Amino acid sequence: MSDALQGKRIAIIATDGVEQVELETPRDAVMQAGATTQLLSIDTGEIQAVTGASICVCGRRHQLTPTPTSRGPAVEGVPRYMASLIPRRISQRLAG
């Protein structure tokens, strides 16, 4: 295991329908490099990953990291992240 990311926190931003391999592969890689990850979403509780090109509920469910929220200026206790990962299918949806 490399320690290149030791002590760093990485936010993974995803939602229901994320391709399972696109969520888990980069997550596993940064964790092997020593980082901790937190799965964040607009949803709460869990998100449903999918596998393959077809739309199906056949991937694993992933527990989300509870985080404080704010509608105002910066809030004490809100975590800071070294980087964020956005799986491709999610980034394509955000781009329109």
Domain ranges of the chain: 9-68+77-95
Give yes or no for residue 14 having a pLDDT over 50. Answer: yes
The confidence band for 53, taking pLDDT boundaries of 50, 70 and 90, is low
Q: Can you identify the CATH homologous superfamily of domain 9-68+77-95?
A: Class I glutamine amidotransferase (GATase) domain (3.40.50.880)
Predicted pLDDT at 73: 46
- pLDDT at residue 68 tops 60: no
Query: How far is it, in rounded angstroms, from Cα 38 to Cα 53?
Result: 26
- Quote the mean pLDDT of the chain: 76
pTM score, two decimals?
A: 0.69
Exposed e or buried b for every residue in 58-76, given b needs 16+ CB within 10 A?
ebeebebeeeeeeeeeeee
